[in-house]
Structures are given as C-alpha cells and as structure tokens.
Amino acid sequence: MSKRLKKPKGPRQRGTVQVTFTVLTSGAVSGVHVKPGNGLSPAYDAALVEVISNMPPLFHPGGCNGNSKAMEVTESYVFD
C-alpha cells in the first residue's frame, strides 16, 4: 500500500490514521472512511481513503460456518 500512497503536497505531517472499511465476500472493499477522531489532516486522510478504495480485491472475507461473510475492518497507517 505504501508504494501506491502519494503523500499530499504541503507541509509534511507525521502520525497515525485509522481507516474503517468493509471487506466484501469477493475480497473487494467498500465504505472506506477515516474513523472519527482518528485522522491526521483532510489531505492525508483523503489520500489514504483513495488508495484503499482503489485497491484490487486482495483481502480475505470473514467466515462463519464455512460461508464467506462481509466483515468490517479497522486498519492503522503510520505516516512518518
């Protein structure tokens, strides 16, 4: 993911951004958003949301009783 992430123009910022999204049964993601109160700045938050939203279906969905289920996931990304 870090190879695809373009740091926004402007002053460099450091910190952690928590992003929440749903992994669908296909492995694709939907509903990507920064967890309220866990962003860095609007530009950095938007850059991270864009990268995750445009990722190919790499994730493995959750499961229950042998069936794939959509699952909400929260990931942290550190800008340094």
- For every one of its 80 residues, what pLDDT tens digit does the chain have, with 9 covering 90 and above? 666 777 788 888 899 999 999 999 988 999 999 999 899 999 999 999 999 998 888 888 888 788 888 999 999 999 88
Where do the structural domains in the chain lie, given as residue ranges?
15-79
- Give the global pTM: 0.82
What pLDDT is attached to residue 67?
A: 85
Yes or no: say if 19 and 72 are a contact pair by the CB < 8 Å rule: no
DSSP 8-state code for residue 52: H
Amino acid at 69: K
Strand pairing partners for 79?
A: 15
The closest alpha carbon to 25, from 76, 70, 64, 74, belongs to 70
Give the bridge partners for 67, in sequence order.
64
User: Which tokens is 60 given?
Assistant: 């493995």
